[in-house]
Amino acid sequence: MGAISLEKSQQMYWLGRYTERVFTTLQAYNILFDETVDERQVLYDKFCHAMGIPDVYGSQAAFFENFLFDAKDNSSVVSSLERAFDNAVVLRDEISSESLSYIHLAIDQMQAARTSKERLLDLQVVMDYLYAFWGSVDDRADSEVCRNLMKCGRYVERMDLYVRLRFSHAEVERAYYKLRGRIGKTGLLYQEEKLDYIGECIVTEEALNENRQKALSCLAQLFS
């Protein structure tokens, strides 16, 4: 029927952020895990530092287990997925039951992955469900506002994680322009000068390497 409350607008934005967080951290986790094939010991504590999360794990083995599955750890992937669900479940009328079902499937798949012998392959399916979720919302949500808010949330989160986790300059730049193109369509009040400054911080690979913290700080203040 077209009307969206302030609370729902926030839920859409955070739904975008949390689903992106699950997706991108799983991507990063895969890369980190892959390094153990050659190195056996990886610097997971540096990963935590880059993510801006406390290293509460104590060992590499504990990290690889708990960062994924410990629901009591607010930084874990499963926690982010549950927060995504918290936001999605109250938006059924906007995003459709069909879209919401992909979040349910992702949660079930996450649980299945915990005891799986092919854990990474099962986690890949979680990512597949998130792709399906985004596609479904794009296709089924009637409200353009809903789609814009969710995408804006996704791109803010993506920028944040790509910068933190040292994704390539090309990927960061692509994320930036996606955010830039979307944010103006949401109707949200944001600080344009901060957005411009982020653009300057990432204009070249060298600039990005020098200005990561500045870019992150501006991103955090985008809506303040």
Q: Is the separation of the CB atoms in 52 and 59 below 8 Å?
A: no
Query: Buried (b) or exposed (e) across 122-151, using 16+ Cβ within 10 A?
Result: bbebbbebbebbbebbeeebebebbbbbbb
Pick between residue 53 and residue 127 the one whose CB is nearest to other proteins.
Answer: 127
Task: Quickly tell me which residue has 């600039």 as its tokens.
Answer: 207
Residues lying near other proteins in the complex (CB under 8 A) are found at 1-9, 86, 89-90, 92-93, 96-97, 100-101, 104-105, 108, 145, 187
In the complex, minimum distance from the CB of residue 158 to other proteins, in angstroms, rounded to a whole number: 23
3-class secondary-structure state, position 143: coil
In the complex, minimum distance from the CB of residue 1 to other proteins, in angstroms, rounded to a whole number: 5
In the complex, minimum distance from the CB of residue 115 to other proteins, in angstroms, rounded to a whole number: 18
Pick between residue 208 and residue 222 the one whose CB is nearest to other proteins.
Answer: 222
Pick between residue 27 and residue 96 the one whose CB is nearest to other proteins.
Answer: 96
Pick between residue 93 and residue 193 the one whose CB is nearest to other proteins.
Answer: 93
Give the DSSP letter string of 18-49: HHHHHHHHHHHHHHHHHHHHHHSS--HHHHHH
